[in-house]
A and B are shown apart, each in its own frame.
Chain A
């Protein structure tokens, strides 16, 4: 089966005007404008299969959103090519746009002064959704996203979480094959984040949609995506399973301990690096391949009430991947 998304050596270079601060800088920029090239995305290639959920990870300014915007046809690439749902995004026209949805965490399409239902009805007309399909899809989305209580309130009176749920519903009424989500949980509290994640999983299960999302929240990634794309300074650094990345990047294991009476920090330090010590709890970091042997030696040498061997936190692994490359 053809891939839902194919990006081949996509690049985007922005030409940015530079000016020195102050009035003199402003005048100089007026008379002799200077420009600098910013390589937002460089030679990024990947494929996403139909029905797959893939997360784009990277620090601010890494090129995630720019890539998403090229794949949805908002931006013309400086080089490279892409096919999304079988179309070239930037000249796919209405047929292409009916097959995708883009949700931007910090920009909304909802009509601010009116209840969300009004935006839904507008989108029904714009996308040409037949009335019976519209009612069925709206009811399904209202149920899955738990929106019944907010349907008659003006959008401006909704909480951030309620607004984001309505944004998702508005973007999905035309039943797109491919969803592009840019920071869909940005600024939401934990409950709202979980509601969005649960919904996205359920939606994918029901309709087999392909989802490409960017997020800063590791919980989004671990809950939703089996595969991650790591991008930094415009370059794709890693494309693969999250667990494989953890195994590759994590050179250590964490021994999480509950200590018996009288054990000191100094005693533990003989077995590895003490990361945390708050008696009776402690965390010891040891080289990955020595984890089992170190545990056995610990148990034999000092009183231990409980011991568990853990991978390092995913956030730490990702942070290291950004800094060093995977």
Chain B
């Protein structure tokens, strides 16, 4: 009897030990399995597309257990983007909202009270002006407006498309002094001293908004989201399986058999932005004139077909891609070298490509 009891006791001790060990193993294993299978199986990849913000096409890609779950997050993101779109709009008024257009409308008249989102954007614009030696100028609205009108007319009436006169552009250039954008951070107002000047934040607003929304999402506890707002791409986390997001960079030569010129991997918080002459442009006498205007020559730069930036701040990436588009390769390379954590790729019209020192570290072979 005693022997049997002893054996029972030993067996029960062993079993309890096994149970405890089992609990730990399961806990540990589950973590891995959980990540593993959530990527492959229960979490599907979803993308929504909408055309409502920044006059371009937006794709939000994420991973969720169901379409409903994904839509909840996507709608929050869309709401945020719409909010920034309205604030940074230069063409439309919104009820009860002072935006960039309000500031422009009051140029030379009065200071306009605005929210911190606009103050911060304009301060960032000034920083970028200094950083890029004037190659990115948010106070160039007067010049860009002329090009905008000629381009819109030229796209609608290709046979009558024409170029603005240099004299007209030079007259407008007189009203592009960024120092006349007076930002009063105490009173939270912005005033344009020159009545004929206007802000055009097109070179930074999309990227800036994407960066803000990405940070908003991070604070809300979201993860594994890829933002693509008119080709301003930024990743929050990576794919749900723990690997990096993979981004294709559009081939500026749209007729090429290969739609992508390069594929890159981006880590959490990194972004890719391209500027090029292939999306927004018009043609005069068979020659292409794109939407980016060099602040010095007042004409579209012709050196590159496209420039891409890979860095860790979408706003900066947006501004830098415009700046590089305006520079020569040598200037651009030197400029990029002087910055931390910024890589660039230049594509010429004949398809030849130049890279900054470490761009290729991100390229997928």
- Chain A partners chain B: no
- A interface residues with partner B (beta carbon < 8 Å): none
Q: Which B residues have a C-beta under 8 Å from some C-beta of A?
A: none
